A and B are shown apart, each in its own frame.
Chain A
Amino acid sequence: DADVTQTPRNRITKTGKRIMLECSQTKGHDRMYWYRQDPGLGLQLIYYSFDVKDINKGEISDGYSVSRQAQAKFSLSLESAIPNQTALYFCATSDGTVGTEAFFGQGTRLTVV
């Protein structure tokens, strides 16, 4: 089983619908992140969480919200999906030590029509 699991892997939804992307991890890390990737733009940070009581906005948080239900679970919601939110979404975790890498889930490809 993957250390960082994202569900669903692929999703097509209609404009205006609410959608939730889920992420769970078995690495025991405190820090979790949601990134969005568009072609040619690298990874843009949406939200990140230090622990279950700590939620922080990233570079592009407008139109998104998150919930940290437990140390191991971090969900991303699109309250009212719009077509320009079509992208590849990645969840990542890290333990916060300087130099420690982030571990990524397999990604969720979201299409908003």
Chain B
Amino acid sequence: EAGVVQSPRYKIIEKKQPVAFWCNPISGHNTLYWYLQNLGQGPELLIRYENEEAVDDSQLPKDRFSAERLKGVDSTLKIQPAELGDSAVYLCASSLGYRTYNEQFFGPGTRLTVL
């Protein structure tokens, strides 16, 4: 069974440019998460989806970040415009349900470098 797929794996852009990350969760997983992982730190939740609905986006900087999960499967996270401080790894995870006992499966992440 395929795991969580993310693309691209690496992205280098100049500041003020837009960037988008794509995530394909494990088949059948209704819950999808986007995490931000700064260098030397643990992941921090940006947004959680239950099917198509964003149910927890309190940590998403909405002035420049947006996300969508059309048809409740794939998801895209966008930054526009990117800033130097956005350089980090963006992780996507999915789980069968939103309860804590449902294991979250993580993708390999997208490493973003903003110059």
State yes or no: do A and B come from one complex: no
